[in-house]
Structure 1
Amino acid sequence: MNVIAVFAIGRPRVACAAIPLAVMLLACSLEVQAQALSGQSIESRLDTLMRVVDEQQRQIHALERQLTSLEMNQRGRGAPGYGAPGDASVAAQPGADGLPIPLQLAQVSPGAPAPGDATGTATGVPVTPSVPGGSDNGTIGQTQKASEPVRTQAEEAVVQREHAPLFDHKLTLDWGLSDTYYDRRQLQLSGFLALDAIFLGNLNLGQTKSHQVMADLDTRYGITERMSIDIDVPYLYRSSNFIVGGAGGAANTLSDATVNSHALGDVNFGVYYQFIKETSDIPDIVGSLRIKAPTGTSPFGIKVQQASDDNTNLVAPNKLPTGTGFWNITAGVSALKTYDPVVLFGSVSYTYNIGRSFADISSVVGQTQPATVKLGNIIQIGGGVALAFSDKDSASVSYTMAFEPQTKVKSPGGTNSGVPGSETTAAVLNFGLNHVVNKHLTINGAVSLGLTPDAPNFVVGVRFPYTF
């Protein structure tokens, strides 16, 4: 026992005695190195120092590469501190394949800082790392998901505008302003045919110029990561200028009248469901169901009257409609595929217009004509391409065509009869430009050009979707 105590007490003494010895050896070593350097010239010393610095820089770069690789591996597996919950006990739960149970990674737009970090990562690695081909690694585990392409902010703006709402966003307020312009000319005949060959009366060329300015607020809310609902409330201001010749009996004299109206438009609401999430091989497919209510001013029963007492040729309605007057249901499906930096999209929809009875559909003053009206059901198809030329800017071009068959009218006790000239085919060419201001606000501009007489001449609009 005494021997052990002596050794136990002696060890610290030996260690303490070794400290001065180590200091002396270190001092001797430094003295030897100093003497070696003192025997070299200044140029040799500089060369030696430069070699040492170069070697240290190579070691630093190698360590940075290893750190970057480690960070990407940790983020791909949802490690704490890289977009996943920081509870190590949750992250360590093994799945059936021996790997951690997959965690939902935070969806962060490229270039944006990681959650809880105002400056992002030190190495500039995105929070959601990407792999060649534009798709991320996804989560790893028993319920591993197919890899989804990582979209830039500009591409996400295209998705929200042309395809469907962004399901990972809870609430979006999308305010828009648009101007639709129509310019229509038609030949007006006032008289009768004599002997089935000679027209007796007045021939006038009528022209109608119309602006329809609409401001609407579309409120969207994501219920789940696959389902979203929205409601769109429009308010319309309409101004139409009616021009006709033959005033005072002179064929070369023109007269005109302007009618203005403003009121609430047709409110519509819908639901979107994402059937298939986009992968490297499969496009994103979303179905939608929308219902439109006849909250706007109906066009039926509006009387057309003489605009001026001294001009019987010029007639105009006493007000302008701001709605269709019908309930309708629209079912559609859209597809979108990202080939960074190109985005392809297309859609098809079918609108069923519900027939409705009106107490008066006549436009003649002093005349009442009740009837049941059934608008033709509309088939619409469209498609286009968008190009993201930066992380925040993109441009798109698309084509849309809608077919509407003839409108049917049924008088009380009568049978359905078609309205001549009510069958329409409207086709437009759309050009869009999107700019992402920040992670909340996007600016979308669009110009549409009518390609058929049934389409508007042009539509100019801008939208400001703000996501919370």
Structure 2
Amino acid sequence: MRAGGCRAIALLAAALAMPLPAWPQAVAPPGAPPADNEGRISALEARLDAQAREIEALRTYLRGRQADWDQDADGVDAWRLDALRARGGVAGALPAAVPAATAVAVAQQTGEPVPVGQAPEESTRPPEVAQIFDQPGVLTPRGALILEPSLQTGYYSNDRVALIGYTVIPAILIGLIDIRQVKTTSVTAALAARYGVGNRLELELKVPYMYIRGDTVSREIFTGSAQDSVFSADGSGLGDLELTARYQLPNKGADRPFYVLWLRYKTRTGKDLFEVTTDCVTRCVANATGTGLPLELPTGSGFASLQPGVTWMYASDPVVFFGSLSYLHNFAREDVSRTTLSGAPEGFPQTTTEFLGEIDAGDIFGFNLGVGLALNDRAAISIGYDHSMVQRSRQNGSDLPGSVRVVLGTLMLGGTYRISDRTSVNIALGAGMTRDTPDVTLVARLPIRF
């Protein structure tokens, strides 16, 4: 009910509460019979009694409506603040606990139709933020299908110095010094399909297609060469398929965080490092450098993995805090071998098979933190940090030579713009914070809801 309407009713009630004017007694004209005057007076008194009863009934109705309004008005401001929190000013439907009178009052104030008695979807779902990490925080509604094409590009550059020889005394080396610059560029096009099995459960399938190119620039000191040698290789094809299930835990209150449990299984459908031919591991006749690098870059990791994790989101007007915690376990592979160039003269076998045995890639422990802010009803931005710790790889039960623990840190910045009710565009930019992290990563997503 609008405030103006309440004031009008109050004025009407005040007017009705005023004492009625005294009616003058009718005086019979000269010569009229007295009985006629008494009949008119009786009819007038009956009419006044009826009007007095109507006025008293109206006063009772107004007192009841005023009590209802005072009770409902206390929850209007709190509801509007909760509905607008971290949503950029977009008001949702009223919670089921809000009375019908409050729904009508809010509808009259905002000028928007509000369904009465229908629980909104937003009341049990986390607020939407700009996605900057791999795992989204908001699940797909029941029965809905979301197709998300994405394109990701990354660039990685690193310097490496290899000493081949032995030292007699410090600072004196007998042998070769191999200095290399490794530059890798990758482009990954993927299509993800998410389906809402229930209000709190969704399943996802992600199919990536990858192109990767690596350039290795090296120069051996003390060989008389004044030019850098470049070793280039590339690879393209299907990557590792991913299957993910997510389940949202029941929320215990408006001021409590939302929790989403998820489990991701990564296959090894892509071509791995053990399926491509490797250059001479040591010096050989056909290749004097003996790079030991693959002649074709793989498109898969070569290991199936299982990754459980939990994502949390907490709305604190006007921002949303979010993050996740996960652990990725790579399954070991047995009886692994690789094909390398032999470097033998023409007429002899040009390749040889090297048996490696059991290879166990290091597990990965990761976490990330972020904060999101809705700029308006269509645009939102997020900033966060992603951290991963990769354990040492093992071969036949022992640490793989040259394998060390690696720390990957990435600073993330992203934004989302809602094109329509079914389509939005998301851009995320990652900058490497450690030497082993890709220098820059750019991801564009276009989720489409059906």
The 5 Å alignment of 1:432-443 reads: 432-443=414-425
Contact 1:409 1:418 in 2 (8 A): yes
Counterpart of 1:359 in 2: which secondary structure? strand
1:225-263 Cα distance to aligned partner (Å, 9 max, x none): 010001000000011111112499335411213212101
Q: Does residue 277 of structure 1 match 2:272?
A: no
Deviations 1:404-449 (A, max 9, x none): 2111111xxxx43444334211111111111110011110001101
Are 2:295 and 1:318 aligned? yes
Deviations 1:78-125 (A, max 9, x none): xxxxxxxxxxxxxxxxxxxxxxxxxxxxxxx94899xxxxxxx99854
**CA distance, structure 1, for counterparts of residue 170 and residue 222 of structure 2:** 28
**Post-superposition CA distance 1:358-380 (Å, at most 9, x none):** 43147564241141111222111
Select the structure with the greater relative contact order (CA < 8 A; seq sep ≥ 6): 2
Question: Does structure 1 residue 346 correspond to structure 2 residue 323?
Answer: yes
Distance 1:161 1:371, change over 3 A: closer
Distance (Å, rounded) in 2 between the aligned partners of 1:299 and 1:223:
37
Q: Which residue does the alignment assign to 1:399?
A: 385
Equivalent residue, structure 2, for 1:372: 358
Deviation string, structure 1 residues 242-297 (Cα, Å, up to 9, x no partner): 11124993354112132121011000101111112374211111100111111011
CA distance in 2: counterparts of 1:361 and 1:266, whole angstroms: 20
Q: Secondary structure at the match of 2:422?
A: coil
* Contact 1:394-1:435 at 8 Å conserved across structures: yes
Could you tell me which amino acid in structure 2 is paired with residue 406 of structure 1?
R
Distance apart, 1:199 and its partner CA: 1.6
Q: Confirm or deny that 1:333 pairs with 2:310.
A: yes
Compared CA separation, residues 160 and 234, structure 1 to 2 (3 A): closer
State the partner residue of 1:222. 196
Q: 1:258 to 1:309 in 2, by over 3 A?
A: farther
Distance 1:376 1:125, change over 3 A: farther
1:146: Cα distance to partner? 11
Query: Could you report, residue by residue, the CA deviation over 1:193-241 in whole angstroms, capped at 9, with x for unpaired residues?
Result: 4478732223232011110100000100000101000100000001111
Structure 1 counterpart SS, 2:337: coil
For 2:199 and 2:125, how far apart are their aligned partners in 1? 16
SS in 2 for 1:300: helix
CA shift in 2, pair 1:352/1:423, >3 Å: same
- Give the equivalent residue in structure 2 for 1:6: none
Contact 1:255 1:314 in 2 (8 A): no
- The aligned residue for residue 293 of structure 1 is 267
Structure 2 residue aligned with 1:457: 439
- State the aligned residue count: 343
The answer to which of 213-222 and 200-209 deviates more is 200-209
**Structure 1 pair 123–395 and aligned structure 2 pair: CA distance change class (3 A):** same
Equivalent residue in structure 1 for 2:209, among 222, 235, 238: 235
Aligned residue type for 1:256? V
Name the residue aligned to 1:182.
156
What percentage of residue pairs aligned between the two structures are identical? Answer: 24
The 8 Å contact of residues 426 and 444 in structure 2, kept in 1 or not, is answered as: yes
Alignment of 1:130-145 (within 5 A): 139=119
SS at the partner of 2:247? strand
Partner of 1:448: 430
Select the residue among 250, 255, 274 that pairs with 2:229.
Answer: 255
Q: Against the structure 1 CA distance between its residues 310 and 128, is the aligned structure 2 distance closer, same or farther, given a 3 Å change threshold? A: farther
**1:259 and 1:159 mapped to 2: Cα distance?**
29
How much has 1:352 moved relative to structure 2? 1.4
**Partner residue of 1:201 out of 167, 175, 179:** 175
Paired with 2:155 and 2:371, the residues of 1 have a C-alpha distance of 25
**Partner Cα separation in structure 1 for residue 317 and residue 413 of structure 2:** 20
Contact 1:356-1:373 within 8 A present in 2 as well: yes
Tell me, in whole angstroms, the C-alpha distance in 2 between the residues paired with 1:159 and 1:245: 39
Query: Secondary structure at the residue paired with 1:276?
Result: coil
Does structure 1 retain, via aligned residues, the 8 Å contact 2:132–2:413? Answer: no
Q: CA deviation at 1:339?
A: 2.7
Change (3 A) 1:319 1:332: same
Contact 1:386–1:397 (CA<8 Å) still a contact in 2? Answer: yes
Amino acid paired to 1:333: V
The alignment partner of 1:369 has SS state of strand
Partner residue of 2:337? 360
Is residue 247–residue 255 contact of structure 1 (8 Å, CA) maintained in 2? no
What one-letter code is carried by the residue in structure 2 that aligns with 1:285? Y
User: Judging changes above 3 Å, is the alpha-carbon distance between structure 1 residues 233 and 451 closer, same or farther for their aligned structure 2 residues?
Assistant: same
What are the ranges of 5 or more consecutive residues in structure 1 without an aligned counterpart?
A: 1-65, 77-108, 114-120, 130-135
TM-score (norm 2): 0.67
CA contact (8 A) 1:233 1:268 kept: yes
Distance in 1 of aligned mates of 2:332 and 2:113: 53
Moved more, 443-452 or 156-165: 156-165
- C-alpha distance in 2, partners of 1:362/1:310? 16
| Aligned AA (2:210) | L
Q: 1:363/1:138 Cα in 2 relative to 1: closer, same or farther (>3 Å)?
A: farther
- Secondary structure at 1:396 match in 2: strand
Tell me whether 453-462 or 352-361 shows the greater mean CA deviation: 352-361
Change (3 A) 1:259 1:126: farther
CA RMSD, aligned part only? 3.8
Partner Cα separation in structure 1 for residue 420 and residue 163 of structure 2 = 58
What secondary structure sits across from 1:245 in the alignment?
A: strand
